[in-house]
Amino acid sequence: MNIIIERASEDDAIEIIKVRNKSFYEDFLDFGECPGYNISIDEMKKKIQKFVIYKISVDGKIIGDISIDIRENYFWIGCLEIIPEFQNFGIGTEVLKFIEEKHPEAKIWGLETPAQNYRNCCFYEKMGFVKVKDTQQSEKITLRTYEKINKN
């Protein structure tokens, strides 16, 4: 499997939306809401302009992306998703290692994921992220905030 991780451009907006919709569909069904699900093309283009977004491709097909909001030395991961048929192949692990190597200036990495999504929580903890807090977002969703101190 040939995995390529590179900066996304506005030309990638439609494909990234399709990937996010496919990746976050189950969360949307489970929780009735998901900020990464079903966003407009204009909104996606604005995100590509505002944040650092890397597209993840396998054999020329976009299968995921990761977005980073750089706040001085604090780097916030807004989304990391891989479409279901490419999950459990170590791609997420490779992507997190890539961004940490690409951005050694980050002192702290942060992110949120639904606390009810056991798989996500286990993945981030395996990657060295530590639970900081839980915040009740709605009746159905508790968001778990994770952080990881960069050891560079």
Q: Give tens-digit pLDDT for 105-131.
A: 999 999 999 998 899 999 999 999 999
Residues in the chain with pLDDT values less than 50: none
Instruction: Quote the DSSP letter at residue 128.
Output: T
Given this model, what pLDDT does residue 40 score? 82
Give pTM, 2 decimals: 0.91
The two tokens of residue 93 are: 């692990």
Per residue in 125-148, pLDDT (tens digit) is 999 999 999 999 888 889 999 999
∠ Cα 7 13 14 (to 5°): 140
Domains belonging to the chain, first-starting first, are 3-149 (3.40.630.30)
Given this model, what pLDDT does residue 26 score? 73
